[in-house]
A = this chain, B = another copy of it.
Amino acid sequence: MPILKGKDILHGNQFTKKDVETILKVASEFEKELKKKDSLSLLKGKILATLFFEPSTRTRLSFEAAMQRLGGGVISMGSVESSSVAKGETLADTARTVAQYADVIVLRHPRLGSAKEAADAVPIPVINAGDGAGQHPTQALLDVYTILKEVGSLKDLTISLVGDLKYGRTVHALVELLSLFNARIYLVSPNLLRMPEEIVSGLKGKGIEVIETEDMAEAVKASSVLYMTRIQKERFTDLSEYERVKGSFILNEAFLNNLKKKIIILHPLPRVDEIHTDVDAYPGAAYFRQMRNGVFVRMALLAMVFGKR
């Protein structure tokens, strides 16, 4: 039975290991098919609606490209200012209305739980593209897909997650998925931005080896994958603390030269200066390839919610 047919995609923890493996397999098939021809017609006549209540470039464009490469159409709410939201409509009503026009909704909204709220209001699939400090499951899937492609396997993986682990919804969804594959996880962050305790204990409860540290060099030495994230200035009340902390979690060519081994580098982007541009030419720098993988993974998810794979 098609595992995602008619289903919402809301949370990293909704997938079994088998589900994830199937999604990655379908993504890989689409990647191969796109090498042969630019677009497919699997979703011809279907319409995707993108509802983004927060600024976004990459996630929205990635979904819109994925839908079009599958032969489908797109309608897009545009900025909140130019929509009826200004008239005081509830999210549930907006979602119900859009569900009359489209066949699937991709939603980004600043409120935790908003994707579930929209999904409960409509009969068509809703895909969560970020709900506040909550989840961003399609990002986590494309991260895992990138790791699989770059490393060759998800078995016996050791990974360092670096930067803002407290507010970053990307890393929250990612560790859920990594735990399915028994990854060994280094959590590297300033004390102020540590991974929330309930997530850490949840991982440990599943038997996952988790090492929390502020020593990026040590963590990276033990890892085959380094997942960098942006540290946001706004999180700090003491700016001198921010400057100190920021400087400790920066990746540059010198760091990599000292490392004396190849490591796969990911980042959800946009970056500011936590990865220097002198790293971009490094063979393990996979963050732009990661963006392209997002199209394949989102093609897989779109096709699967329509029961087409």
Contact = CB atoms under 8 A, between A and B. Distances in A.
Interface of A: 37-39, 44-47, 49, 52, 55-58, 61-62, 64-65, 68-69, 73, 75-79, 81-89, 92-94, 96-98, 100-103, 269-272, 277, 288-289, 291-292, 294-295
Contacts of A93: 269-271
Contact of A45 (B69, B83, B277): B69
A294 to B, nearest CB: 8
A47 B68 contact: yes
Number of copies: 3
A79 B77 contact: no
A281 B294 CA distance: 38
Which of A93, A271, A294, A295 gathers most chain B CB within 10 Å? A93
A305 to B, nearest CB: 14
B45 A100 contact: no
A49 B62 CA distance: 11
A70 to B, nearest CB: 11
Given A57-B84, A82-B52, A269-B93, A101 B291 contact: yes
Contact of A101 (B94, B101, B270, B295): B295
Nearest to A99: B288
Nearest to A80: B82
A71 to B, nearest CB: 9
A53 to B, nearest CB: 10
B45 A87 contact: no
27 contacts: A37-B45, A38-B103, A47-B65, A55-B82, A55-B84, A56-B83, A56-B84, A57-B85, A57-B98, A61-B98, A61-B101, A61-B102, A65-B73, A65-B75, A65-B102, A68-B75, A69-B73, A76-B78, A78-B82, A79-B79, A87-B272, A89-B269, A93-B269, A97-B291, A100-B288, A100-B294, A101-B292
Contacts of A270: 84, 87-89, 93-94, 97
Contacts of A77: 57, 61
Contacts of A288: 96-97, 100
A69 B97 contact: no
Contacts of A277: 92
Contacts of A94: 57, 270
Contact of A46 (B38, B73, B92, B295): B38
Contacts of A65: 47, 73, 75, 101-102
Minimum-distance CB pairs A-B, first 3: A38-B45, A39-B45, A89-B270
